[in-house]
């Protein structure tokens, strides 16, 4: 019974510390974010989509507010067959404003979801721009915004989004700005009775909680996602390049595809298109939140159901004509496994996309593992290695440099061209060059194979530079590739940290015995008499007046409960490539020392309090002061790890 209770307490404490480690992992990047320097909104062409369904009460004020704050903004209001006077209000305003466009939807096509309403707005915008002779360069500079009928953009929103770090960066395909709640003081009932005041106070509390959630925890999670360039898009205040929407339409027939979470789905398709998504905290969109519990629960249930629907995206991925994308759905959604030297993980759907190419060349040094096809991508012509960063993998190049394909025009950000036979090859005779189909289905002549020629050193990209791509203007940022000993060292360190976690969990009793032996000299300093370590117990006050005492180091009190999440965080940061190897080792050593010393001082404080103030002092030191002291020490260890490892 005691053993079972000890295991339960240990598991509960480890989960608690793990949660605190997660909180630290999202708070540190959030607090260290740098402010965005505003740019020139005139350099971009902004269009805002406002889907409406029975929004007569608010749509007029929203349109007037947008036109007053952003004079150059084009507004596309989609009336989804509203039953009230929404359409009449919008048409009256559009008659006086040439930049206000009305998109009318009628049943049975109408009211098929927000995604379909936005698709109709996209089609109208596309026809409008094509009639005006809009060039591809202009479509690259065109940004589409989705705004709720009651949404309010901050006055500096467009200038912030035009900054060099957001849409001034051609690798950014979409951005989500901070969401704030505008109606935190709104009353749900009118009256002065105590029941009315209670209902209004409860509504205010729920509204403030939602505001805190959006501006703190969700914002911190979004900041952490900036590490992978995969920030999530929301249904309000999302900004997407028109050129990215065009590529999604070319691949799937429409930007939005009927998911419950059409916003999150668009973010994933943006990543599939080879672009990055980002989060901007320096400006906000203000929206109306739900003041009562039942609609709030219904909204969150829909969010949860939409999140589960996203798990079906591997089926949609089979229709994507790109095998390997640096930020593709295979890396974003599916578990990744590295198998064999040079093996790179791809979904089994990607293996099918290879078709005859894989069957002809075979899956050398790799195989099917747990429903995933692991393909040696270096065997496929045209592949240029880039590290996988979504799931924390930072693998070495698939093959030595002498076997890399010759340099040439890049095919796009992380795309792997699929070779198809030329139907004219038989007529042209043997030796006629085949064709290569790129990511948009365009055919280009295939270069002669020069597999034995080493790559030109001049073709190597510098870290953090933007890839110039002739067919894809929005590319990916080339991150530094860790080769050779550095990549192997990172992998060895990550595996060693995971092995250490396994050892501390399995042999926890032995670890506590070592900790008791290490802490014993401290008890000699703070308590009278001598001390003795027997297993995981410390006996002190030996030979001094009074009876001897003992302190047992349980799994909850042991430093291993703090080191497990610390080592897990270090392994993650090492694996994703955020830390240099030497800095990671220095930060890890420093954080372990800080955590161990703080926990040792906490144990010594327990012995001192028991000797000085009796059991009452021991209880206060154990349950209150000691717990706070231990958590502070753990937070200090995390801070040492992050700051030391992040130094240049």
Q: Are residues 367 and 458 in the same domain?
A: yes
| Averaged pLDDT for residues 302-313 | 63
Establish if 435 belongs to a structural domain: yes
Tell me the sheet residues that pair with 257. Answer: none
Establish if 365 belongs to a structural domain: yes
Q: At what angle do helices 114-131 and 242-252 cross, to 10 degrees?
A: 110
Query: Which value, to the nearest 10 degrees, does the dihedral of the CA atoms of residues 582, 588, 590, 593 take?
Result: -150
Q: Provide the number of structural domains found in the chain.
A: 3
Where does the pLDDT of residue 144 fall: very low under 50, low under 70, confident under 90, or very high at 90 and above? very high
635 or 367, which is more confident? 635
Query: Which value, to the nearest 10 degrees, does the dihedral of the CA atoms of residues 409, 410, 415, 421 take?
Result: 10
Spatial strand order in the sheet of 372-375: 344-347, 372-375, 368-369
Tell me the sheet residues that pair with 47. Answer: 74, 144
Establish if 216 belongs to a structural domain: yes
619: its two tokens: 């209880």
| Averaged pLDDT for residues 481-496 | 66
Establish if 511 belongs to a structural domain: yes
Establish if 53 belongs to a structural domain: yes
User: Which of 273, 289, 317 is a domain's end point?
Assistant: 317
Where does the pLDDT of residue 292 fall: very low under 50, low under 70, confident under 90, or very high at 90 and above? confident
Q: Are residues 529 and 621 in the same domain?
A: yes
Establish if 90 belongs to a structural domain: yes
Tell me which range, 91-95, 329-333, 424-428, is most confidently predicted by mean pLDDT: 91-95
Within 10 Å of residue 10's Cβ, how many Cβ atoms? 19
Check whether 609 has a pLDDT greater than 50: yes
| Averaged pLDDT for residues 602-624 | 79
Write phi, then psi, for 597 (nearest 5 degrees): -65, -40
> For position 414, what pLDDT does the model report?
34
Q: Tens digits of per-residue pLDDT, 73-82?
A: 899 999 988 8
The helix/strand/coil state of 369 is strand
419 or 134, which is more confident? 134
Q: Are residues 287 and 351 in the same domain?
A: no
Q: Are residues 496 and 587 in the same domain?
A: yes
The residue with tokens 């139907």 is 423
Q: Are residues 307 and 342 in the same domain?
A: no
Residue 356 burial class via C-beta count within 10 angstroms: exposed 0-12, middle 13-18, buried 19 and up:
exposed
Of 439-443, 564-568, 611-615, the range with the lowest mean pLDDT is 439-443
Of 134-143, 418-427, 630-639, the range with the lowest mean pLDDT is 418-427
**Alpha carbon distance 8, 80 (integer Å):** 54
> For position 145, what pLDDT does the model report?
92
SS3 track for 547-592? CCEEEECCCCCCCHHHHHHHHHHHHHHHHCCCCCHHHHHHHHHHHH
Q: Are residues 313 and 346 in the same domain?
A: no
Check whether 309 has a pLDDT greater than 70: no
Residue 15 burial class via C-beta count within 10 angstroms: exposed 0-12, middle 13-18, buried 19 and up:
exposed
| Averaged pLDDT for residues 358-381 | 34
2: its two tokens: 């005691």
637: its two tokens: 């260890």
Q: Tens digits of per-residue pLDDT, 27-38?
A: 877 877 888 888
User: Domain containing 220 — which CATH number?
Assistant: 3.90.550.10
* In 32-163, alpha helices (H): 56-69, 86-94, 114-131, 136-140, 157-161
Check whether 500 has a pLDDT greater than 80: yes
Cα–Cα distances in angstroms (integers) from residue 298 to residues 292, 294, 295, 301, 303, in the given order: 11, 6, 5, 5, 9
| Averaged pLDDT for residues 429-445 | 40
Tell me which range, 266-270, 456-460, 578-582, 613-617, is most confidently predicted by mean pLDDT: 266-270
Q: Tens digits of per-residue pLDDT, 508-522?
A: 888 888 888 888 888
Where does the pLDDT of residue 3 fall: very low under 50, low under 70, confident under 90, or very high at 90 and above? low
Count Cβ neighbours within 10 Å for each residue of 419-453 and write b for 16 or more, e otherwise.
Answer: beebeeeeeeeeeeeebbebbeeeeeeeeeeeeee
| Mean pLDDT score of the chain | 71
Tell me the sheet residues that pair with 345. Answer: 374
User: Which of 476, 511, 529 is a domain's end point?
Assistant: 476
> For position 391, what pLDDT does the model report?
33
Check whether 49 has a pLDDT greater than 90: yes
Element (H, E) at 397: none
Establish if 329 belongs to a structural domain: no
Q: Are residues 354 and 289 in the same domain?
A: no
Where does the pLDDT of residue 375 fall: very low under 50, low under 70, confident under 90, or very high at 90 and above? very low
Q: Are residues 23 and 40 in the same domain?
A: no
Q: Are residues 282 and 137 in the same domain?
A: yes
| Averaged pLDDT for residues 190-209 | 85
496 or 414, which is more confident? 496
| Residue 610 structural domain | 2-28+485-645
> For position 380, what pLDDT does the model report?
36
Q: Are residues 24 and 37 in the same domain?
A: no
User: Which of 433, 455, 476 is a domain's end point?
Assistant: 476
| Averaged pLDDT for residues 175-184 | 89
Within 10 Å of residue 510's Cβ, how many Cβ atoms? 13
> For position 579, what pLDDT does the model report?
67
The helix/strand/coil state of 538 is strand
Query: Which value, to the nearest 10 degrees, does the dihedral of the CA atoms of residues 446, 449, 455, 458 take?
Result: -40
Cα–Cα distances in angstroms (integers) from residue 304 to residues 45, 261, 301, 308, 310, in the given order: 35, 9, 5, 6, 10
Q: How many angstroms from the chain centroid is the CA of residue 532?
A: 50
Establish if 325 belongs to a structural domain: no
Q: Are residues 13 and 146 in the same domain?
A: no
> For position 216, what pLDDT does the model report?
84
Check whether 239 has a pLDDT greater than 90: yes
> For position 582, what pLDDT does the model report?
78
Where does the pLDDT of residue 242 fall: very low under 50, low under 70, confident under 90, or very high at 90 and above? very high
**Alpha carbon distance 225, 210 (integer Å):** 21
Check whether 50 has a pLDDT greater than 90: yes
Dmax of the chain from CA atoms?
105
| Averaged pLDDT for residues 346-374 | 35
Q: At what angle do helices 194-212 and 293-309 cross, to 10 degrees?
A: 30
Write phi, then psi, for 49 (nearest 5 degrees): -100, 130
Residue 400 burial class via C-beta count within 10 angstroms: exposed 0-12, middle 13-18, buried 19 and up:
exposed
Q: Are residues 80 and 9 in the same domain?
A: no
């Amino acid at each position: 019974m005691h053993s079972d209770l000890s295991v339960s307490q240990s598991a509960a404490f480890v989960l608690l510390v793990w949660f605190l480690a997660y909180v630290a992992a999202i708070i540190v990047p959030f607090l260290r974010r740098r402010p965005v320097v505003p740019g020139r909104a005139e350099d971009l062409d902004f269009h805002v989509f406002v889907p409406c369904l029975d929004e007569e009460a608010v749509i007029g004020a929203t349109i007037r507010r947008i036109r007053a704050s952003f004079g150059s903004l084009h507004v596309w209001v989609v009336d989804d067959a509203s039953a009230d006077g929404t359409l009449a209000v919008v048409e009256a305003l559009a008659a006086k404003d040439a930049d206000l466009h009305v998109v009318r939807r009628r049943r049975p096509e109408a009211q098929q979801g927000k995604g379909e309403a936005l698709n109709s707005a996209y089609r109208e915008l596309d026809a409008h721009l094509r009639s005006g002779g809009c060039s591809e360069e202009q479509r690259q500079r065109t940004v589409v915004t989705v705004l709720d009928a009651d949404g309010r953009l901050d006055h500096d929103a467009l200038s912030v989004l035009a900054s060099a770090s957001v849409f001034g960066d051609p690798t950014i395909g979409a951005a989500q700005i901070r969401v704030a709640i505008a109606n935190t003081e709104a009353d749900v009932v009118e009256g002065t009775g105590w029941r009315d005041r209670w209902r209004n106070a409860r509504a205010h509390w729920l509204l403030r909680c939602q505001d805190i959630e959006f501006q703190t925890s969700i914002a911190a999670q979004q900041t952490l996602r900036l590490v992978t360039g995969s920030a999530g898009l929301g249904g309000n205040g999302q900004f997407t390049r028109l050129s990215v929407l065009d590529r999604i339409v070319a691949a799937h027939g429409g930007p939005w595809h009927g998911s419950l979470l059409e916003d999150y789905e668009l973010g994933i398709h943006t990543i599939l298109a080879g672009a990055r998504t980002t989060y901007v905290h320096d400006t906000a969109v203000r929206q109306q939140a739900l003041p009562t519990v039942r609609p709030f629960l219904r909204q969150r249930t829909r969010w949860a159901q939409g999140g589960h629907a996203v798990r079906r995206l591997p089926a949609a991925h089979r229709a994507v004509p790109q095998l390997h994308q640096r930020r593709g759905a295979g890396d974003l959604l599916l578990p990744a496994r590295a198998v064999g030297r040079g093996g790179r993980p791809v979904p089994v759907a990607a293996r099918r996309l290879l078709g005859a190419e894989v069957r002809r060349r075979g899956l050398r040094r790799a195989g099917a593992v747990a429903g995933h096809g692991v393909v040696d991508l270096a065997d496929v012509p045209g592949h240029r290695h880039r590290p996988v960063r979504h799931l924390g993998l930072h693998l070495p190049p698939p093959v030595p440099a002498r076997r890399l394909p010759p340099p040439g025009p890049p095919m796009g950000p992380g795309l792997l061209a699929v070779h198809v036979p030329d139907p004219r090859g038989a007529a042209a005779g043997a030796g006629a060059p085949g064709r290569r189909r790129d990511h948009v289905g365009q055919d280009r002549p295939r270069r002669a194979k020069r597999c034995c020629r080493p790559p030109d050193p001049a073709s190597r990209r510098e870290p953090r530079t933007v890839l110039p791509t002739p067919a894809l203007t929005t590319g990916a940022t080339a991150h530094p590739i860790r080769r050779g000993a550095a990549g192997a060292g990172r992998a060895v360190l990550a595996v060693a940290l995971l092995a250490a976690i396994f050892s501390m969990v399995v042999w926890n009793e032995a670890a506590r015995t070592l900790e008791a032996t290490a802490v014993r000299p401290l008890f000699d300093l703070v308590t009278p008499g001598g001390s003795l370590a027997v297993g995981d117990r410390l006996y002190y006050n030996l030979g001094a007046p009074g009876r001897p005492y003992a302190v047992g180091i349980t799994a909850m009190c042991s430093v291993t409960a703090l080191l497990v999440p610390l080592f897990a965080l270090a392994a993650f940061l090492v694996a994703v490539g955020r830390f240099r190897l030497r800095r990671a080792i220095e930060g890890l050593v420093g954080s372990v020392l800080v955590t161990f010393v703080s926990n040792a001082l906490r144990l010594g404080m327990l012995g001192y309090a028991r000797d000085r103030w009796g059991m009452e002092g021991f209880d206060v030191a154990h349950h209150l002061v000691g717990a706070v002291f231990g958590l502070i020490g753990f937070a200090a260890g995390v801070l040492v790890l992050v700051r030391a490892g992040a130094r240049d």
